[in-house]
Structures are given as C-alpha cells and as structure tokens.
C-alpha cells in the first residue's frame, strides 16, 4: 500500500511539473501576492507621508491682507503660490476641475475684522473625496487652526486671563500598542494570502485526480490495476499536499524578502517578519494543507469535467477565508475555543507570531489536531466517493 | 479463460445487461459484437472490475471476480477505449507506471518495458511525451501498458476505432501473436467487417442480452447463404424487436 501511494505520488508530482501552464500559475501566484501586497503598502505609506516636511505651494487669495498669517504659514513650509484664482468661486471651480488640490481665500474684511470681536474669515477650499489631497488638506487646516489658537492665547494673556481657562479638559493620548502590534493591522491580510496560496497550489492536482483523469479517459484503466482505490487516492492527495506546501513555502519566502522593502518603520511599525517567523508560520499552516487537499478533492469528485470542477473550487477557495473576515470584523483575540476552527486558528496564531507574542503551545497543538482530524474525515469521505461507480461519470 | 454466467446490471431505470452468459477461451480471440449502447462497454467494465454486476458470476481463470477482484486484476490486461495515456509522461513512463502499480520489481519492469517497446516498434517515440502521439501510436503504447505484467487475459474496448489501415493490420498481427501464446483475448466492436477476419468466436449482444454466439463457421452453417454481416444485422434487429 505504501509503495503504491509513493508510486502514485511520485508520478503525479512529475506529471504536474511537466505541465508548463500549471507550473507557471503555481509560481506566479506566490510571487504576485507579495508583490501586490508590498506595492499597495508602499503607495499607502508614500501617500500618508508625502511631503509632511516638504514645502508646499499654496495658492492664497488676498495674502497681502494678512502678512502675519502668511509669515506664520511660511515658517511652517506653506508658501503662498502665484495663481490666477481671484475669489472663493474661482477657487472652488479650480478645485472642482482638479487643477488645484487645496486653496485658501483670505476674506476682504480680514484686516477690518482681525483684532475686533468679529472673527476674521479664512476659507479653505478642497475636495474631500480626493484621497491624494487628504494629507495637504489636513496640513493646511491644522496650520491655520494653530495660528488661530496662538493669537487667541496671546490676547487672553494680554487681558490678564490664563489661556487654560478656555481648556477645562486636558486630553492626553497614551497609545500603548507596540510598533509590532500596530503592523498587525497591515499584516492581517498576510494570512489570507498564505491560505489562498496554499489552496491554489493544490488546485490543479485536486481536480486532475478525478475530473481530469476522467476527462482524459485515463481513470478507467487506472482502476483496473491490482491496487485499492484508497491507495490511489491517498497517493494523489499526498502529491496535492506536496504542491500546496511548495506554493506556501514560495509565498512565505517571497513575503520575507518583500517585507524588507516596505518602510513599515516610517508608519511607526516594526516588522518582525524574519526567516524564523516565516519558518514558524510554515509549521503552523502545514496541518491546514491536508485539510485543504481533502476538501478540494472531495468537491472535485462530484464534477464531470475539469472546467466544471474549476468553477466549483473557486467558490471553495473562499470558504477558509470566511472565518478571517469574521475575525477582522469582530476583532477577535486568540482563545482556546477558536483554536478548534481551522483557518481561523492558523490566522490567530500567525497574528500572534507577527506581534512577537510568545506562542501558546496548547493552542498550536489544538489548531494542528483539529485541522488534521477534519482533514482525515474529509479524506475518508473523498475515498468513499472515489469508490463509487459514479466516479466513472 | 473468462467465464461469464447470467450477469445483469442496471443503471437506474436502464437495464444495461440482462442475464449475459458467454465464455472466452484461452488461445482464442473472442469478439463481443453489438450496436452502440448494446451493453458491450458495460460488460467489459464489469470484466475489468471497474463496476460490479447486480447479479450473476464472472470467473477469470480460476478466480471469482466478486470474491477476489484484486487477484483477478493481476490476470487481466485492459486496453480502454481511447487509450487513456498520461499526456505529460513519455511512452516508456506510461508503461513503467502501470508495471510499478502491478508491483513488478524495478529491474524486471524496465526489462519488460524495453522488450514491449522493441516488439511494438515504439523505439522512435519511446521517450517522447504522449500528448503528441497519433491515435495509432497511442493504441500501441496503451497495448504495451496493458501487457507489461504479462496477463493471461486481455480485454480490448473498440481497439480498432480511429486506427488507419496499417495500424489496424499491425494490431491484428499482435493479437494473433498473443493468441498463439495461448492467451485469452476478448475484444469489443460494433463493426462486423473489422473483426470477422480476426476472431475465433463471436458473441453478439443487443439490448443487454446475448442474441447469438458461435464460431464464424458455425454461424455460417446455421444460416446458409447469408454473410456474417447479414447474420449480425438479423441478430441485432431481432433483439431490438424483442425489446420494443
């Protein structure tokens, strides 16, 4: 039996390795995921950080009416820019067209109102739906706000009143999340990619085992050989698991390399995703592979053709991601009872790993055991289905 | 020899085989003839142990199929309809894979594969992937694969379909050679002309039943003045009248 399983496994591995298209998609998936991930993070980081300290040219209408304000803005890197904008309507039109991200209009009555009990009006024109302008808008807003507070405080002092009278509540922010903890928000998607890569790695073989062999008419002669169908199927599932683990390993390697290129530190995060973490992640996800292989093989055995199986399995690929969405929405923490749920347990353990928290070995054990037990049950079901006469189609 | 006794098989409401009885002897080529949908493939699938009969008994050599299917499979070589090779494996690898699954030791299996490749003139394509093979080449490789464990019995499902004239001639030659070695060869076909020159015994099956059997000479004697083709047509249409 063992010899049969090994023979079948070896042949399936060889045959799949010879199929260039399958191999290509097998390699592409693991490389594309991390690449996409890193690109998105890099864009997000550079958006958020773009020009926080760099000078910003700001179109200001009526700059001559407020020399002190302009000096204040200048000192903070906001330089009045020359523009043909004449008033608020002009500016609104220009922002609407997209030629300007943000503009400031100093009211005609600014000089008259400034220093009286009337508040002097300054209008900021922007388009909040434009995400690329967010950091500029916030910066202009914040700087104007700061100027107003500074002037207000000076006036109170001049009248012999303490400025703190206006601030009865002092709100202090104390964020105790570690840099590694903060990076979890970003790396939360990581497990999704890893589970996905694991499953797609075995997709072709899981389909080929039943629907593919049937379509090529090679299933029937195979079943006339003096070996049990169980050993044939186990050999095929073993090969499927091999490819799933290869796909997982490639994805992890790609992530380990790619995450070094992400300026997580600039976002106040530290990425502890080194080779050791990658290895531990691999270990945690290993028990998930037989489960995924058995699940995909079981589903594929109901289908008539390769194409039909592909359609069904695309939906199956979403099943393990459902607990992850649930986890993300409810912000669940690792606890004992959740370790019985495959894919969610792996997700929570990997999250803990990335947070650089100590591993709870009981959790790891339960996570592995529950995945393997469910994998064995599904494997048994797949064998029973393989022994039906209907498997011939 | 292969002994089929009163075998029946239903698929849902369809009665595919209804008490089929015949025997295929050693050192003989037996032709299982019938129109499409007559039950030939179902019959061969039962003989090759891929599906189980609802009733009846099949013996392959001294082995009862139902009692010991794994033992019976060692005695059987199967050439399926449409070859069923693995396109990404070479001709040699296809043959060796089956030898390995038959449990042959590695040196013996290499030697057998080499001998079959030489005998079937596969030398030129032995180490090429099967996906580019012509139908004739595929059939040759599938035949080599079916013979790698030197089975006493050989089942061939429509072996001549899709073959050109030369390939058909070669196939006949090899089947005669296997007969000369004392093997039991059972093949199915739906065209009388393809097999009448080849077979020693004829089993005509229609509507899931054996309607006529015997050697070509016996049949010719029983229906004087009629060609085998005409006898076949009569046997088949008789069954169709009976079922309708």
Domain that holds residue B95: 84-150
Please indicate whether residue B82 or residue B68 has the higher confidence score (pLDDT): B68
Q: Least CA distance to B93: which residue of chain A?
A: A11
Instruction: Convert the pLDDT of each residue in B83-92 to its tens digit.
Output: 889 999 999 9
Instruction: Tell me: do B27 and B67 sit in the same domain.
Output: yes
| CATH number of domain containing B233 | 3.40.50.300
* End residue of a domain, out of B101, B133, B150: B150
C-alpha span between B24 and A90 (Å, rounded): 99
A280 exposure class (CB count in 10 Å sphere: 0-12, 13-18, 19+): middle
Q: Report chain A residues whose CB lies below 8 A from the CB of B50.
A: 220, 223-224, 389, 392
Instruction: Tell me: do B117 and B162 sit in the same domain.
Output: no
Instruction: Tell me: do B67 and B161 sit in the same domain.
Output: yes
User: Among B95, B104, B189, B97, which Cα is nearest to B147's?
Assistant: B95
Look at the alpha carbons of B217, B218, B219, B221 in this order and tell me if their dihedral is positive or negative.
positive
Average pLDDT for runs of 10 along chain A of length 393: 90 89 79 78 66 76 88 87 82 85 88 82 87 82 88 87 81 66 62 86 88 88 92 94 93 84 63 80 93 92 86 84 76 80 87 80 92 94 88 75
Give me the domains of chain A, ranges plus CATH numbers. Answer: 2-45+178-392 (no CATH), 50-166 (3.40.1710)
Average pLDDT, chain B: 89
Instruction: Convert the pLDDT of each residue in B4-37 to its tens digit.
Output: 999 999 988 888 899 899 999 999 999 999 888 8
B interface mutation test: which of A2, A221, A222, A389 has the most B CBs within 10 A?
A221
B210 exposure class (CB count in 10 Å sphere: 0-12, 13-18, 19+): buried
Task: Tell me if chain B has a CB within 8 Å of the CB of A223.
Answer: yes
Instruction: Tell me: do B52 and B90 sit in the same domain.
Output: no
* End residue of a domain, out of B127, B150, B173: B150
Q: Report chain B residues whose CB lies below 8 A from the CB of A223.
A: 49-50
Instruction: Tell me: do B179 and B61 sit in the same domain.
Output: yes
* End residue of a domain, out of B97, B131, B150: B150
Q: For residue A243, give every residue at least 6 positions away whose Cβ sits within 8 Å of its Cβ, in sequence order, or none.
A: A13, A16, A26, A201, A202, A204, A205
Give the model's pLDDT for residue B244: 37
Instruction: Tell me: do B173 and B230 sit in the same domain.
Output: yes
Q: How many domains does chain B have?
A: 2
Instruction: Tell me: do B146 and B161 sit in the same domain.
Output: no
| Residue B51, both tokens | 């599906």
pLDDT at B242 > cutoff 50: no
Min Cα separation A392/chain B (Å): 9
Q: Report chain A residues whose CB lies below 8 A from the CB of B102.
A: 225-226
Instruction: Tell me: do B112 and B15 sit in the same domain.
Output: no
Instruction: Tell me: do B162 and B237 sit in the same domain.
Output: yes
Q: Report chain A residues whose CB lies below 8 A from the CB of B146.
A: 221
Yes or no, beta carbons of B101 and A226 under 8 Å apart:
yes
């Amino acid at each position: 039996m063992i010899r049969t399983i090994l023979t079948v496994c070896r042949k399936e591995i060889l045959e799949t390795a010879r199929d260039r298209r399958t191999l290509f998609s097998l390699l592409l998936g693991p490389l594309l995921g991390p690449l996409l991930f890193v690109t998105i993070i890099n864009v997000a980081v550079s958006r958020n950080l773009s020009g926080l300290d760099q000078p910003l040219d700001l179109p200001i209408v009526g700059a001559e009416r407020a020399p002190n304000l302009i000096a204040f803005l200048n000192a903070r890197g906001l330089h009045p820019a020359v523009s043909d904008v004449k008033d608020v309507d002009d500016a609104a039109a220009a922002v609407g067209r997209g030629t300007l991200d943000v503009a400031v209009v100093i009211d005609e009555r600014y000089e008259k109102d400034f220093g009286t009990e009337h508040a002097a009006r300054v209008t900021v024109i922007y388009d909040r739906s434009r995400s690329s302008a967010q950091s500029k808008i916030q910066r202009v807003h914040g700087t104007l706000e700061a100027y107003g507070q500074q002037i207000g405080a000076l006036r109170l002092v001049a009248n012999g009143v303490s400025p703190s009278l206006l601030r009865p509540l002092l709100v202090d922010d104390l964020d105790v999340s570690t840099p590694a903890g903060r990076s979890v928000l970003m790396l939360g998607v990581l497990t999704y990619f890893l589970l996905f890569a694991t499953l797609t790695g075995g997709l072709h073989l899981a389909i080929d085992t039943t629907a593919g062999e049937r379509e090529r008419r090679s299933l029937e002669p195979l079943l006339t050989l003096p070996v049990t169908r169980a050993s044939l199927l186990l050999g095929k599932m073993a090969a499927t698991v091999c490819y799933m683990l290869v796909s997982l390993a490639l994805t992890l390697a790609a992530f380990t390399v790619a995450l070094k290129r992400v300026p997580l530190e600039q976002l106040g995060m530290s990425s502890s995703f080194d080779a050791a973490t990658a290895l531990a992640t691999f270990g945690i996800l290993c028990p998930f592979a037989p489960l995924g292989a058995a699940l995909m093989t079981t589903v594929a055995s109901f289908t008539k053709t390769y194409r039909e199986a592909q359609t069904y399995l695309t939906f199956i690929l979403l099943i393990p991601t459902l607990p992850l969405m649930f986890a993300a929405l409810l912000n669940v923490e690792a606890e004992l009872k959740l370790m019985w749920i495959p894919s969610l347990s792996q997700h929570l353990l990997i999250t803990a790993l990335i947070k650089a928290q100590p591993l709870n070995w009981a959790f790891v054990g339960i996570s592995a055991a529950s995945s393997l037990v469910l994998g064995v049950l599904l494997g048994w079901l797949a064998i029973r289905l393989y022994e039906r006469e209907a498997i011939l189609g | 020899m292969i002994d089929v006794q009163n075998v029946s098989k239903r698929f849902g409401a369809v009665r595919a085989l209804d008490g089929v009885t015949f025997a295929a002897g050693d050192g003989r080529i037996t032709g299982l003839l019938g129109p499409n949908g007559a039950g030939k493939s179902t019959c061969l699938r039962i003989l090759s142990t891929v599906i189980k009969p609802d009733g009846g008994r099949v013996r392959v050599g001294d082995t009862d199929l139902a009692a010991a299917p794994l033992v019976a499979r060692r005695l059987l070589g199967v050439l399926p309809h449409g070859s069923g090779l693995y396109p990404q494996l070479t001709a040699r690898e296809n043959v060796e894979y089956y030898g390995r699954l038959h449990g042959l030791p590695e040196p013996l299996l290499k030697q057998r594969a080499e001998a079959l490749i030489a005998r079937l003139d596969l030398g030129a394509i032995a180490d090429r992937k099967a996906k580019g093979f012509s139908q004739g080449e595929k059939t040759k490789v599938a035949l080599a694969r079916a013979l790698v464990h030197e089975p006493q019995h050989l089942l061939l499902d429509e072996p001549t379909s899709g073959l050109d004239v030369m390939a058909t001639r070669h196939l006949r030659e090899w089947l005669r050679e296997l007969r000369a070695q004392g093997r039991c060869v059972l093949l199915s076909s739906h065209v009388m002309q393809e097999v009448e020159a080849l077979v020693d015994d004829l089993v005509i099956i229609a509507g899931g039943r054996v309607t006529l059997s015997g050697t070509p000479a016996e049949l010719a004697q029983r229906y004087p003045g009629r060609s085998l083709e005409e006898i076949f047509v009569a046997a088949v249409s008789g069954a169709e009248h009976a079922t309708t």
